[in-house]
Each structure stands twice: as structure tokens, then as C-alpha cells.
Amino acid sequence: MKGRVYPNKSGKGAPYFVKFPPKVFRRFWSREEAERFLTGLRYESDRGTFDERDYKRDQPLSFASLAGKWIESRCGQVRDTCHLQTHMGRAVDFFGSRNIKNISYGEFEDFLISLPGGLSNTTKARHLETLHSFFVWVCKRDRKIPLPEFPKVRYQLGWRKTIDKETQQRIIEEVKRISTHNPKIWIGIKWLATYISIRPVELINIKEGDFDLSLGVVNVKYNKERKPKTVPLLDEDVALVRAFPRGLPHLYFFRHR
């Protein structure tokens, strides 16, 4: 039968230990405890659910360990990972070194309850979205780990406050007046008001080489859709871009002077 309980003849440490192939080794202070542990391993082996990683000292399947790896992998794909680090930091505080395979629906509900008071349902839902992305990544890396079910947080986004065109134009003109030290400040605001298809994070990622002034367009290469996105520019904005000394193609257009 697979695995055995051995007496520790060295006289140091616990008097019994279990060896279960290929690499499970655990010490115990009583033979009864060792036998129960061995029986559990044999049961898992018979069911086909045995995973030696569950018993390694460095806990490779712990939530905290895998969360750190996931954040590192996202740093190369997402420019702003502050919200991911905040969400996962709270999750690590809650789940700690718990085995990733033992986290299920109920634990996610308990995690939501543990979040700081005052957080809106929208923010709580964002925490769950981050956790869901993390678990999808884990399950893709290891097909033996099933994707758990997540609770749903109901929320309703509020209406954004808007202003009329005349007030908007006065604001842009005032920003232009007080930002003579760096005119790109008001240009950025003007463009966000003019080209509604460009998101703020897309705008600040536009580089010098993304402008094709002969065609009068800007290629928004960093975008949510992750596909080619070309936005035609007004003639006055083409002239604004031409008024600046051209930088190297890899430099961001909106950068500190």
C-alpha cells in the first residue's frame, strides 16, 4: 500500500514521520495522528484528487503566493496597477496563505463583509472583478483547478454632472490663460472635450510618432479595444501640433517639458 509511517530513530524532533511518494514528508508527535494523515493521503490518491503541492512547505498554491505572481504578470500589461494592488492587498490580508483550491462562494461573501466600512457597492464589485480576473489566470495556468462561483454585487452607476457648451468653453479658455508655462495642459482638456472617442488614459499615452499630420489624424494605439483606432483632427489642432518642436517618435506627446 502506498506510503508508510516510520519511527524517528534519530531521537531528534517528532517521534514519527510519514513518507508518501513521490515527495510528501511530514512529522508527527503521535502514531495515531500520523496514521490519520496517511489515510487521508491514500483516500485522495484513490479518488484521483491527490496533489503533492498541497503539502509542500513553501505552499505554492497559497493565495498570497499566487497573488504576488499575478500582480507581477499584470505590471507588464497594465500601466496603472494601483487599483489591482489595493484590491489584492486587501484580499491577501483576508485569505492569507489559504490554499487557492479551498476558496469558494462563501469565502468571497465573507471577504466582501470584511472590506472597510463606507465602500460603495460599486467599489465592492470592482474588488470582485479583480479577484475573478485573478482566478481566471490561476485556472488557465493549472487546468486541475476549477474556477469557483462568485457572488454578485448589485449597484447602479450615478449620472455624471454635465455643463453647457458655453461654460465648458469659458473653462477651457481660463485654463489656457493660466497654463502659459505649459500649453499642452489646456490642449489636453480641449481635445478631451472635442474628441469624445478618445479616453483620458488613451490621450496621455499618445506618442509623437502617432501623429500623421499629412493626413491630419492621430493613431490611438493604446486603447481599450486593442485594435487600430484612428481619429481625424481639426485643422486648428493639426496646426497646434505643428507649432511644437517635434520630438522622437517614442516620446509621449503629453510630457513634462
CATH class of the 63-141 domain in this structure? mainly alpha
Rounded to 5 degrees, φ, ψ at 211 are: -85, 135
Which is nearest to 67 in space by CA: 52, 81, 49? 81
The x, y and z cell numbers of residue 13, run together, are 524532533
C-alpha cell at 193: 472635450
Write down the H helix ranges in 102-205. Answer: 105-114, 121-141, 165-178, 184-194, 200-203
Q: Edge-to-edge strand order for the sheet containing 211-212?
A: 211-212, 217-219, 230-232
Which residue type sits at 7?
P
CA–CA distance, 60 with 50 (Å, rounded to integer):
15
pLDDT at 11 over 80: no
pLDDT value, residue 39: 86
Q: Name the band, by pLDDT with cuts 50, 70 and 90, for residue 77.
A: low
Cα distances (Å, whole numbers) of residue 117 to 59, 130, 203: 32, 19, 34
Q: Which of 57, 63, 58, 50 is nearest to 90 (CA)?
A: 63
pLDDT over 90 (residue 52): no
Of the two residues 77 and 190, the one the predictor is more confident about is 190
| pLDDT at residue 251 greater than cutoff 90 | yes
pLDDT band at 238 (very low <50, low <70, confident <90, very high): very high
Q: 46 pLDDT exceeds 90? A: no
Q: Domain coordinates of the chain in residue numbers?
A: 4-55, 63-141, 177-243
Query: Could you say which DSSP state residue 7 is in?
Result: E
16-25, 117-126, 231-240, range with the lowest pLDDT: 16-25
The pLDDT, as a whole number, for residue 76 is 59
79: pLDDT strictly greater than 60:
no
Distance CA 189, CA 171 (A): 10
Q: How far apart are CA 257 and CA 249, in angstroms?
A: 16
Nearest by Cα to 219 from 198, 196, 234: 198
**Higher pLDDT residue, 19 or 1?**
19
Contact 27, 57 (CB under 8 A): no
**Residues forming a β-bridge with 219:** 230
pLDDT by residue (tens digit) across 81-130? 678 889 999 999 999 989 998 899 999 999 999 999 889 999 999 999 99
Percent of the residues in the chain that have a pLDDT greater than 70, as a whole number:
97
| Per-residue pLDDT at 14 | 85
